[in-house]
Structures are given as structure tokens and as C-alpha cells.
Structure 1
């Protein structure tokens, strides 16, 4: 294991060629939760991956240590009228959840394999994924049972918008978070 990680960028057109890598890393990272939590199952993840990677504007970054994938991040812009905010349980000001198709980039997944954790790899993947974005802000969901992950995102500038439970079977309660991207001054 080194911290000399090469980051490669991918688009939706390349998703089929990297699908197995993404599934293999997920299966390793989420092996324990997948044993007992139906929401963390590999089949559910694979279905979600296929849905996300088919979205217009989907992008992915994978970090490699030599030929070993160490982790990845992916997401896509929220379309106009996105269902993303449908499970929001917190009252927010009018317009905060209005999507135009070019307003918000949703960071769907960010994960790093155990040997490369606490090396700065997650931050590098995060930055590599979001730096090319032209949207004014990004959003992500953090499971409320993971306060250390929530605190990490806060240390990177993310702010909690409220509680959200996706309208998916067995979905946990999440913190919905927002991050202004460089071209935006506020949200």
C-alpha cells in the first residue's frame, strides 16, 4: 500500500467497462453490513449503480495503487424535478430543493478500501470528482449511524440541510448535505 494513488476519470459511456471493479470494491467495503442489512446488499447496490451510471452526466473517479483499485467516487447532476429530495423530513426554505438539471451534482458514492483509509485518498477522490463540476452546488447523503463520516464531510465544507429517508425499501435515515461548488457564492 502506498499513498501514490493514480486517479482515473470515467463517464457513463465507460461504465460497463468498470462496473465489475465498482462491484468488487463495494463487496469488500460493505461485506459486514451486507450480511445483515438488506439496504447494503450487493444486489441492491448493483441495481443502484446501473441506474446512476445511465444518468446523463454521470461521472466516476477510481483511485489506483499500481493495478489495485483503492476506492472510488461517482455521481451525476440531478435532473429537473428530481426525486432526490422526495424523502426530505426537514422543512427548508422554498426553492432550496428546486432542481433545474444544472443546479446540483449528487455525489452518490464515495468509498475507500481499508488499507488506504486515513491516507487522504477519500479527500483526493472527492476533489477529483467534484472539481470538474459546473453545477453551483453538490449534495450527498450520510447515514445518521455514521457520525464520524458526517464530521469528515463537515470538515470538508459540507453543511447539513436536514434529515432525509429515501423512498426505497429498508432505507436508513440520512443527513442530506450541501456543498457550494467553486462558481457559487451561496445557497
Structure 2
């Protein structure tokens, strides 16, 4: 872990004075990812997300510099997060009450500070203080490096989701238990066909885990929940632009 790293929790009100720095970190982390990652687009995303009840950000500071952050929010009763989920899902899996599920939207670290354990520290700090039963995020099925990292961080495959907007890709839904009231074995919530598919994936990934796990866990410094594209997901209006780009081992 990098020395002199300071982590701090911020509500939406507290983070309003940090907006310029939040955008700067976003642009730095996405500097090589094409023209879609603009300040204007991200400002619109923050404006849509920050008013959500329970929104929380954990920031990483070294000296006086903001080097990274993670944020998300609880899924309310009127959430559209689960729209587009494919195949049969267990009863109540998509039911939300504002206290059940925390959606992770962004995990970003400046390029100069990547691969130093900051992303993992942010991830753990945020989720260890949440009171929801579980957390969720989306990841592209072909993002194998992220799959290894999420496996090592305790996330489990829970389904597949294709946002309703035309031309959007298929994503895997991952969940992670936060409180004991949510079963640590997510298979209790999954259709049998998906359990079997997930088991095959885990068995295959474990064959290479001893070679790849350390490198991936350390290098996952910007979590690209859409593998470099924009998720046209109704929950996020114009699109979720979280970034998860582990360095291949």
C-alpha cells in the first residue's frame, strides 16, 4: 500500500465542492480511451447520480491531491437498474426497497497512482461501511481480467443483463454480500442454468488463478464497469461510464 494514503467518506453535499477534482480524475483515468469521455458528459452523470438518496463517495488523497475515488448509491423501490435482465431469475431477486442493494457506479484512480493497491483500498473501505445486504455492478463477459479480480474480491456472477436501448452490449451482473442477512452463497438466488455456467467459469479461472491473481488484484485500478464503452442503462440516463481496465497479467 502506498504511504501517506488518506481515505475519506463524503455525502453528495460534502462532495459538491470537489466536483472539479472529480472530473479531473475521471479525465485522467480515461485519457487514452477516446473522445466519448468528456467533462461535459461526466458532469451530467454526476448531476444525475448525486441527488440519489444514500449516495456516497470514498476519496483517496495523497498529500493535497485527490488520486482516486469510488462512489455508488442504494437502489430504490423505483430503480430501473434491473431492466433488461435476461432469463428466469429467482423470486424477489430484483426487488428493491432502498436498503437491500448498493450499486457501485465508479471506481477511478489517476494513471500515475495506478497499480499501487489504491483501487482495492477504496473498494474495501466503501463496502465495509455499507449497511445494505449486497452490492452489485456490471461487467462485460469478455473482460476476463476483471472477472479474475472480482472473483478474488468476493464477487459472484448472478445473471446477465442487456439494457433496453438498441445497440447496447450484454453485461454480466455481479453481486457481493455485504451483510450477513444476504447469503454468502449467491447460488441460492440463481437459476440452475446460471449456477452451472458460473461453476464452469470459476473452475476454469481457478486453473490460472495462481499465475494471474496477484497481478490482477494489484493492477485493477480503474473499474470499467462497461469495459471502455458507455452503458446505455436506464438507471443512469445517458449512460453509466464507470471504468474497469485491469492491466493484463
Q: For 1:119-178, what per-residue CA distance to the aligned partner results, in whole angstroms no more than 9, with x for missing partners? A: 221111011111121110011112345321232112100011122233457654322110
CA contact (8 A) 2:134 2:182 kept: no
Alpha-carbon shift at residue 179 of structure 1 (Å)? 0.3
Q: Residues 151 and 133 from structure 1, CA distance in 2 versus in 1: closer, same or farther, beyond 3 angstroms?
A: same
Query: TM-score by structure 1 length?
Result: 0.88
Counterpart position of 2:179: 182
| Normalised TM-score (structure 2) | 0.67
For the structure 1 residues 4 and 145, does the alpha-carbon distance in structure 2 shift closer, same or farther, using more than 3 Å as the test? farther
Q: Which has the larger radius of gyration?
A: 2
Structure 2 unmatched ranges of 5 or more: 187-249
Q: Does 1:27 align with 2:27?
A: yes
Q: How many residues align?
A: 184
Say yes or no: does 1:155 pair with 2:152. Answer: yes
Alpha-carbon distance in 2 for matches of 1:121, 1:30: 17
Q: Which runs of 5+ in 1 are unaligned?
A: none
- Distance, in Å, in 1 between the alignment partners of 2:118 and 2:72 is 17
Q: 2:216 maps to what in 1?
A: none
Confirm or deny: 8 A CA contact 2:53 2:74 kept in the other structure: yes
Aligned partner of 2:130 among 122, 129, 133: 133
How many Å separate the matches in 2 of 1:133 and 1:7? 15
Which residue of structure 2 aligns with residue 101 of structure 1? Answer: 98
Give the deviation of 1:118 after TM superposition.
Answer: 2.2
| Alpha-carbon RMSD | 2.2
In structure 1, distance between residues paired with 2:20 and 2:86: 35
Q: Tell whether 2:43 aligns with 1:51.
A: no
1:112–1:135 CA distance, 2 compared to 1 (3 A): same
CA contact (8 A) 1:34 1:41 kept: no
* Distance change >3 Å, CA 9–CA 137, structure 1 → 2: same
Mapped partners of 2:4, 2:169: distance in 1? 35
